[in-house]
Structure 1
Amino acid sequence: MKYASLLLAGSLLTAAACQQQGSRNSQQAPGDSLHQLVERYYDSNMALQPLQATFNGDMRYNDQLPVDIGADFRHRADSFYAAYQQALKGIDTAGLSGNDRITYDMLQRELGLNREALTYHDYLMPVQQFTCLPITLAQLGSGSAAQPFKTKKDYENFMHRMEGFAAWADTAIANMRQGIATGYVLPEKLVIKTLPQLKDLAKKDTANVYYAPLKTLPDSLDAAAKQQLTTDYTAAIEKYILPAYGKLYTFMQTEYLPKARKTSGIEGIPDGRKYYEYLVRSWTSTNRTPDEIYALGEREVARIRGEMEEVKNNVGFKGDLAAFFTEVRNDKKLRIFKTPGAILDSFKAIENKIMPGVKKMYGHLPKSKFEIRQTEAFRAASASAEYQPGNPDGSRPGIFYVPILNAAEFPYPGMESLFLHEAIPGHHFQFSLQQENDSLPKFRRFTWVGAFGEGYALYCESLGKELGLYTDPYMYFGRLTDEIHRAIRLVVDVGMHHKGWSREQAIKYMMDNEPVSEHDATAEIERYMAIPGQALSYKIGELKIRELREKYTKALGDKFSLPAFHDELLKDGCVPLSVLEQKMTRFYGQ
């Protein structure tokens, strides 16, 4: 940890020095000065955020795991961001190119949002069932994610991270005790969902995901070296990992659960309403208010329900839409799989079917490899289908993860739209093209703006008919189900976090407006409870991208090129929606 601190201190000095040098050196172009600043920022930020560095393919800090929920780290992080805010003021924006202006605006936005985030109290609620360090570290420790396990040094690196996790867990418990005392606690229903996860990861059992790398020790080691590494690695698991998860489990079951709050939304914590307004701005990259988003969601739900009625009538169903939801939810004819392998093969068939059309829609295709995998058992129960980006150097492919709890219950109607969103041409294209574009500064190659990334992926679902999909009316109904699902999110997320809705009220609204089981609706609603505001990004971003496509299609007529539109849309990576609109205006000249 000391090494990271030294790097951080050095980065603060170089940031200040950059500002001084910029004022002295009038011969240096503003763009050059900005490029140097953002490169230093990215490298220094990776030292501050070593887990993110690992996911980005930067392996310099694979042994480090700071206690990022501790007061010392948060103070250093704020000083770090403040120094770069000051340095950024030394850049003359008048001489920047359009692309450099994007970089400037995005760094300014990120620094401001990061500093504002540190004024809130999420560090007092560091564990939940959907996304938190105990889950992320287990993924890395599985040996099948971004953390490499190819050499003895790789194993030693992760042993250091295990030690760091023990310190993190102790701080998490101390923070949560502070949260109990001050009213910053999780909803009771979320605490209940964390308990089986923590319990499983605390088990001294070779089925525990942390033992998995011991099954694939490096072939370069001889038998004695493998035995010693096995002994050392097992000892680290049993000294650091199992006790840490065990303490978290015991604390959350016996001490935290009785103090958990009964409210569902983030407005139930002391500064929750203000925090939610921040999260809305952060996730949507707009200035839309929660009430505006709620009203937009209601309009979109009504519009999509109208299309659903048409499909219902076209297939000859005589009941109302609620009855059709029940039919779709329970019809055994829509449950066609017997094994997880058959489900994965079906997704592969979708990939093969669409690729000829995709190549006509996009001028620039990614080089990164792509795989479809079943979600690991330890997190499948609480996971959604998801995409995890590969490494830019090709050492790890982009992976489309599919949670399959029971193959016989896996519904096929939503598979085509799901693939378009999570895989191709959705997240796989967007992430890969962004990371492969070495003309972008690293800061932008590895950044994420939810409204753009998720909005683009949802937009990709609308490409299905153009790609020869949705010929089966139930598949198209699946597409509409996925779209209304994102519209429902606008209503229920704002409903819970801003309008006082209960978890049960949100579950009912979801089940009333899409053919989802109570189990799945519950998992979704509890996800929104865990990460407020994130669910808003999809529909907000998709509507903006669709608006831009329609605008330029109408303006250019026969001269409109869809491949050119898609290439321009993606070439600069994830950008805030306001920046997206500006750059598309520059590209089209209108």
Structure 2
Amino acid sequence: MKSINACFFAMLLIAGSCSSPKPTQPPGPNPAIDSLFEAYNQFKLRINPIEATKAGESEYNDKVANFIADDYQADLIENYTNFLEALSEYDSSMVSPSQWMSMQVMAWDCKIKREGLTNTIVTMASPIYNLPNFELMPILQIQSLHLYFSQLAGGQSVQPFNTVKDYDNWLKRIDAYLPFLDTCVVKMREGIATGIVPPKTLIKKTIPQLDGFINDPLSEHLYYAPIRQMPESFSSEEKERLASAYSDAIQNKLKPKYKELQDFLLNSYLSAGMETSGLGALPNGPETYNYLLRLHTTTNLTADEIHELGKSEVKRILAEMEKAKAATGFEGDMKAFFEHVRTSKSQMPYTEPEQVIASFNTIRTRVEARLVEVFDLKPKATFDVRRTEAFREASASAEYVPGSKDATRPGTFYVPIPDVTSYNKFSDEALFLHEAVPGHHYQLSLQQENADLPEFLHPESLGVFVEGWALYAESLGKELGLYEDPYQYFGMLSMEMHRAIRLVVDTGIHAKGWTREQAIQYSLDNEAESEASIIASIERYMATPGQAVSYKIGQLKIQELRKKAEATLGDKFSIREFHNQVLNSGSLPLVLLEKKINGWIEKIR
């Protein structure tokens, strides 16, 4: 892959250096920096083609990045370096304030991503989940490309299947995806040789995920779903051609490749898996985890600091839970109440998955009636509440997938319902606020619809901001007419506790030598989630070190800034304007968010 054209950078540098003396008024927009932003945006689309599809950029709908390949990573290092050199030619006197903020976000992104590429375990941020991928551990039971690619295949996600060209693009994308699977096996063999292999527990969970892709008959195969849903407008000749092409791709390309991958996992990889649970036991593991904490929190907090912060938050939330328990009339201790909530039939009333979805839509109606009281901004995009696909439902958490930037494709709030009779609803109000409104759907839709932001800031980006905002959104329930049921308020506290526990168990697993079983027991002792749910969560943290701590760190910073603004501004404080300030610049590293809110406070006071 070629790097950004050197002449283009030279042109930008010349344009940037031809500035007049420092103005006495804030400078206006600089077209040269906008050109650099656009170059960076095109670079990010090229390296993350599935993210480009997610953003509605159809040019990339037939491509897949083999992001664990050596040449791909060399290309990244070269380009991140070039972009940082170009940014260094500007200072705040040469661009508008909003451009300067975007430049600081871009510089942070380039620096942290380039640093990750020099690590022996971590590679670039994933083309899908904005998480680091592990070059030598590319196949895991959650948040891996092989799972997300199959999610696209069903025709109900971000991959379009509206035209004949769309159908042909997917066939090309399959052909581009197969080399990634080959490279995965090569890298995992290298991982075996160098002692960089995931825990056995995680490998065991990954192997059966491939069963359906290998064994399902063509008529029921996930990858054949688009053929079962072909538009009536297609000619009979096109329908026949596409059906034959999809059949060939499934039977002669995908099934053999997935079988090859599964055989390797079962016969070679599993026996090499770690008996320990965390990164700390791997070569360069402690350094890798420190990097991941900096990446995910956008701070320099150490593992020890985060661990202790988590324990203090667990203690605080437990005290609040005691009050919520008392409001329900339950007379036992907290552990007994956890068990009561986990097993109470009153909290598991459903017999059909559709009832779960309908309940979330009822919550939606209640929330939307009160939004205007705390928000000025409102996205154009809408969203659907949908059950998670069966092939990944057993290991999945609830999640939100944004719609298209032009709002023509709605966002999707996915709810896993593997067993509807055991589905516990006690935290559903908080879950809706987090994943949908005013959480992920609200924030991410506003971000990608914001015409004042450079295009590269429209995608999801920084988890500490995105997830921190969503967790903060859970705390707005009473202001939005929710949590009237003490069990639902306890559910909100339980979700907050879940995120506080993450600070303890994530650092425990990856920095303090905790076992999987220790982490599970700590969670069982301090929250009301079911044991099965807790096990899935702990295994997620094992697979994605550092990511889960971002929620609570981001939430605490937003709450801290709100309290500071309320205390400083008094009657001048507007909750709607505070939310505007948090949401109208895209995803920001916490240091930049704090700087922005402090500036707003000084301007208002």
TM normalised by structure 2 equals: 0.94
Secondary structure of the residue aligned to 1:589 is helix
1:47-196 correspondence runs (5 A): 47-120=46-119, 121=121, 122-196=134-208
Deviation at 1:66, TM superposition (A): 2.7
Residues 568 and 601, structure 2, Cα contact 8 Å, conserved in 1: no
Deviation at 1:458, TM superposition (A): 0.5
Q: CA distance change for structure 1 residues 49 and 16 in 2, over 3 Å: closer, same or farther? A: farther
Letter in 2 for 1:72: D
Percentage of matched positions with identical amino acids: 43
Residues 16 and 83, structure 1, Cα contact 8 Å, conserved in 2: no
Instruction: Name the counterpart of 1:407.
Output: 420
Cα distance in 2, alignment partners of residues 34 and 212 from structure 1 = 45
CA deviation map 1:531-582 (0-9, x unaligned): 1111001110101111111111112222211111111110111111111011
Residues 297 and 489, structure 1, Cα contact 8 Å, conserved in 2: yes
Letter in 1 for 2:195: G
Instruction: Name the counterpart of 1:567.
Output: 580
Instruction: Name the counterpart of 1:299.
Output: 312
Cα distance in 1, alignment partners of residues 527 and 28 from structure 2 = 55
Deviation at 1:48, TM superposition (A): 2.1
Cα distance in 1, alignment partners of residues 497 and 229 from structure 2 = 43
1:342 corresponds to 2:355: yes
Cα distance in 2, alignment partners of residues 12 and 233 from structure 1 = 42
1:290-439 correspondence runs (5 A): 290-439=303-452
Secondary structure of the residue aligned to 2:403 is coil
Cα distance in 2, alignment partners of residues 30 and 448 from structure 1 = 24
Q: CA distance change for structure 1 residues 499 and 16 in 2, over 3 Å: closer, same or farther? A: farther
Secondary structure of the residue aligned to 1:373 is strand
Instruction: Name the counterpart of 1:556.
Output: 569
Q: CA distance change for structure 1 residues 505 and 52 in 2, over 3 Å: closer, same or farther? A: same
Instruction: Name the counterpart of 1:33.
Output: 32
Instruction: Name the counterpart of 1:489.
Output: 502
Cα distance in 2, alignment partners of residues 39 and 221 from structure 1 = 37
Deviation at 1:29, TM superposition (A): 7.4
Instruction: Name the counterpart of 2:12.
Output: 18
Deviation at 1:221, TM superposition (A): 1.7
Instruction: Name the counterpart of 2:209.
Output: 197
Gaps of 5+ in 2: 22-26, 122-133
Deviation at 1:94, TM superposition (A): 3.0
Letter in 1 for 2:138: P
Residues 30 and 91, structure 1, Cα contact 8 Å, conserved in 2: no
Q: CA distance change for structure 1 residues 35 and 181 in 2, over 3 Å: closer, same or farther? A: same
Deviation at 1:19, TM superposition (A): 2.6
Residues 3 and 78, structure 2, Cα contact 8 Å, conserved in 1: no
Deviation at 1:45, TM superposition (A): 2.1
CA deviation map 1:471-523 (0-9, x unaligned): 11111111111110000000000000101001110000000000122211100
Q: How many residues are paired up? A: 584
Cα distance in 2, alignment partners of residues 13 and 285 from structure 1 = 33
Match of 2:480 among 447, 454, 467: 467
Cα distance in 2, alignment partners of residues 178 and 13 from structure 1 = 38
Letter in 2 for 1:364: L
Residues 81 and 115, structure 1, Cα contact 8 Å, conserved in 2: yes
Deviation at 1:14, TM superposition (A): 2.4
Deviation at 1:9, TM superposition (A): 3.5
Letter in 2 for 1:491: V
Indicate the larger mover: 485-494 or 554-563: 554-563
CA deviation map 1:247-288 (0-9, x unaligned): 111100110000001111111210110011111011111111
Deviation at 1:395, TM superposition (A): 2.4
Secondary structure of the residue aligned to 2:220 is coil
Indicate the larger mover: 159-168 or 186-195: 159-168
Residues 204 and 238, structure 1, Cα contact 8 Å, conserved in 2: no
Residues 31 and 97, structure 1, Cα contact 8 Å, conserved in 2: yes
CA deviation map 1:374-416 (0-9, x unaligned): 1111111111001000001122101111000111111111000
Secondary structure of the residue aligned to 2:135 is helix
Instruction: Name the counterpart of 1:446.
Output: 459
Secondary structure of the residue aligned to 1:400 is strand
Cα distance in 1, alignment partners of residues 10 and 194 from structure 2 = 37
Deviation at 1:311, TM superposition (A): 2.0
Cα distance in 2, alignment partners of residues 425 and 10 from structure 1 = 38
Instruction: Name the counterpart of 2:125.
Output: none
Deviation at 1:20, TM superposition (A): 4.5
What is the root-mean-square deviation of aligned Cα atoms in Å?
1.6
Q: CA distance change for structure 1 residues 13 and 73 in 2, over 3 Å: closer, same or farther? A: farther
Residues 227 and 243, structure 2, Cα contact 8 Å, conserved in 1: yes
Residues 304 and 484, structure 1, Cα contact 8 Å, conserved in 2: yes
Cα distance in 1, alignment partners of residues 527 and 3 from structure 2 = 52
Letter in 2 for 1:403: P
Q: CA distance change for structure 1 residues 10 and 299 in 2, over 3 Å: closer, same or farther? A: closer
Cα distance in 1, alignment partners of residues 188 and 463 from structure 2 = 28
Secondary structure of the residue aligned to 1:249 is helix
Residues 98 and 583, structure 1, Cα contact 8 Å, conserved in 2: no
Secondary structure of the residue aligned to 1:327 is helix
Secondary structure of the residue aligned to 1:124 is coil
Secondary structure of the residue aligned to 2:370 is helix
Cα distance in 2, alignment partners of residues 521 and 460 from structure 1 = 23
Indicate the larger mover: 9-18 or 185-194: 9-18
Residues 569 and 601, structure 2, Cα contact 8 Å, conserved in 1: no
Secondary structure of the residue aligned to 1:9 is coil
Secondary structure of the residue aligned to 1:371 is strand
Q: CA distance change for structure 1 residues 318 and 25 in 2, over 3 Å: closer, same or farther? A: closer
1:452-531 correspondence runs (5 A): 452-531=465-544
Residues 33 and 91, structure 1, Cα contact 8 Å, conserved in 2: no
Cα distance in 2, alignment partners of residues 24 and 236 from structure 1 = 55
1:281 corresponds to 2:294: yes
Letter in 1 for 2:264: F
Q: CA distance change for structure 1 residues 494 and 12 in 2, over 3 Å: closer, same or farther? A: farther
Cα distance in 2, alignment partners of residues 9 and 288 from structure 1 = 34
Deviation at 1:10, TM superposition (A): 4.5
Deviation at 1:204, TM superposition (A): 4.4
CA deviation map 1:154-187 (0-9, x unaligned): 1111111111221111111010000000011011
Cα distance in 1, alignment partners of residues 19 and 550 from structure 2 = 42
